[in-house]
Structure 1
Amino acid sequence: MDVVKLDLWFRRAISFTAFFFGVIQFILNERNIWIDAGFVISMAGVVGYYTNFLAIKMLFQPKKGKVLGWEGLVPKNKANIAKSLGESIQTNLLAPDILLEYVYERKLIEKGTVSLSQWLDELIDDEKFRNRTTAKIISVLQEKGPDFLSGIFNFTEDTLKELAKNPEEIKKVWASIREKIIEYLHDRKNREYLAQMIRIVLLEELPKLSLILNNAIDTYLKQTNTLAGFGLGIKKVISFDNVALQNVLQKFIEEEDTSDHLMGVLDLLAIELQNKLSSPETQEFILSKVSTWVEVSSNYSRQELLPMAINRLKAYLDDRKNWKKVGDYSFQFIDYAKDKLIDYMRSPEGSEYLKVNIAKVIQKVNVTNLVEEQVMKLDTDELEKMILDNTGGNLVVIQFLGGILGIIAGFIQVHIYFSVPVLTLVLVTYVAYKRNQKLHGLKD
């Protein structure tokens, strides 16, 4: 139902009715109970309706200047309204607690990760996207790869020299790394994932690498007329008992104590390395050789390993099945990141951190000032329309109800007996109000 049209119809009807009975009463120039009653009732409705009508209009009129000393309340207090509105939005609508609760209730993180996974899945299925991405990755690696490797090796050189001079740093670095490893291995899912990666590297990738190295050595020995039987093949040296490896990895997954044993071995390695570096002879040897090591490794990596890695990566990405694996790993990572993020957000320290930083962002954006500036840019007509639109027709309903209440009051003025149904209606309304207050635990 269109409230505005109903209000317009009611306004015209009650105004015409009051005018009609008034004219009839004036023309007859004699007392008539029905004419008088019609005029009183309709006129009471007019008074009730137009009282609210004028009160609402006086909020916005006059828009400029004054009429009989009166200035529209909204135009007059526009600056205060703008400031108050901005403060209310920042305090009551954009409060950190409210925003976080909104994220939890609407499950925005879960929905966001689902949308992200669907979007990523669509991209992976798009052959043009795969080709463009592959070409871009290869191009970047060819262009930036050598510089990137140089930067890594330079950093490695500086780090090794620093560690050689300060063995105590190993203890500090290892303490931090150890804590992260223990936290990671505490989760069975992480141990399963790590075991799977170890299984792939030891049983699939490493034998492939050893075969390549072995073939290269065989070729070299033949070219130099050296006995081909020189030494054992590298592929025989780098080999693993599949069954034994499976048993070890399964034990690593099932028994958390195995992780403790692993950490014990790593602790001993860290201590041994620290002790070695504490020796002046070792420090001097490392400092004298590290530059040469890094330079040789860097040159070999740029000239040999990087081109080979780029070619292997291109061949890998050219296969659509491998993109499916990339997608699966990406989806697993997204789910993992989602769970970790939700756990962190719900933890006391995470929740407090987010609240503090959300408050800082809102304060930095200065929502109060932003809203105030935008409201001040509106002219009075636009501001009036915004207020009326956002009340959802409630002000129009107030006008309409004013007319109805006026008509009811008019009936009482016609005859006291009409007060009985009116008072009954008032009593029913009051009882309904009290029941509602009690039902919802509200106070007057």
Structure 2
Amino acid sequence: MNISEFIISPIAGSVIGYFTNWLAIKMLFRPHEEKRLFGIKIPFTPGLIPKEKNRIAKKVGETVGEHLLSEEALVKALVDEKVLESINHMTANAFFYLRQNEESIDTILTKVLGEYKDKTIDFIEEKLTDFILSKINDEEILDDITSFLMSHIENIINRKIEDIPLENIIQADFLQRHAVREWIAGEIIGFKDRLQNEERTLSQIIPDTWVLTIKELIRNHFPSMASLLIDYMTKPSIQQKLKQILLELIQANVGKLALMFVDGDKIYEKTIRYIQESVEKEEKREEILKQIDSFIDYAMEKPIKEWADKIQLADHDSKIQDILSKVIFYFTKEDNIAKLKTIIKEYISRKENITVLSLINTIQPNIIQDMRKWIKAYLGDLIQKEEVSKKINLFISKEIKRFLDTSVSRWMKGLEKTAEEKVQEIIIQYYKQIIISKSNDIVTLLNIPHIVEQQIMNFETDYTEQIILSVVNRELKAITWLGGFLGFIIGFLPVLINNL
């Protein structure tokens, strides 16, 4: 038996087996590029992995996308309790940071938006203005606003007359306000224009109860009214006008010749004296009151436009302004306004349990419905005006500026802890809802197979080799040594068989 055969043959087989396996493994990665000799491509170049890199990358990407990071796997991982706890923790940290931050909200937005901050705020202001205008212009919203205003108006006009605070309403300074005077003058002018075309009689407009009330008011307050009338007639400017009227009456009834024998001053004085005596003597006072009642009845049956044509004291708007100024001047005197309050109070004291609305309804039975229509129409017209849009925009601008000037910490102090917890719950709720309902869209958007494929394609061959070897280096070494062991067995078996 030759001992050398038992040594050389197995060792040679072992070396050959080890080397061939080592070479095969190396040829998986090397060479990295194709090699040529005299222009002829050397077989097995480049290595298997560099040569099939595109196919391997595509296959690995598909495998990872379909089996490792599938839609179900991603959803399960993204809604895992640890992930949700991490989101909650990040939210809590964010709230803690905001509570400690003394910077203004404006400063934060400047950092985030930079030069686009002002444009963004202007855009928000514009959209909020449009939103508010569109909402309040909505038919249902207009009805709600109208109902809200009418509820307050009805509360006021449903009050009893005796509960109305006259001391606060009837004030001299109120009548002296320019806006009040302009409004009254406008109403009088409009009323005058309407009267000149009114075919109806006063009796068709004014209820009988009101006529009786007027007569009763005149009868009960005749002395004080007469006193006011005399005070007014004794004013120098009024005296002159009355004297002129008396002379014109005499001329119309007697002729111009009679004026030569008439003293206007004496006639005026006699007229004033007669009125004073009539007030003092009961029989004359009663006769005057009967004449007033008859005149009221006569006036009630005349077409309104006839009275409007006969009354020429204010045929021009400027005259109405003059008359109104004189009336207001008269009632700005404390003693005169006190008399007016007394008359109204005495009238009210006899009208117990009567509301303002009931009095208005005697003239305009459908006043509530009419007021509702007018308010709604007025609001609708008001909303269309540009100045309203500007005011709403100005209000929004001021509120946004006030909000932006507030520090983050101060604003956060107004946020209760329960609100913070509620925000965290909402964030988690919407996060889970989005992940579950939009998982297919997320996976499609991510395109994991393509990401993996591109990532592998971008790897250098050396780096790819290092990655693979870092994973299976031990196994590849085991295969190399296994080749040596198998070569040893293969080399040993023939020698053993030949020597048996």
TM-score (structure 1 length as normaliser):
0.45
More helix by share: 1
Larger Rg: 2
Provide TM-score, normalisation by structure 2.
0.41
Where relative contact order (Cα < 8 A, 6+ residues apart) is larger, the structure is 2
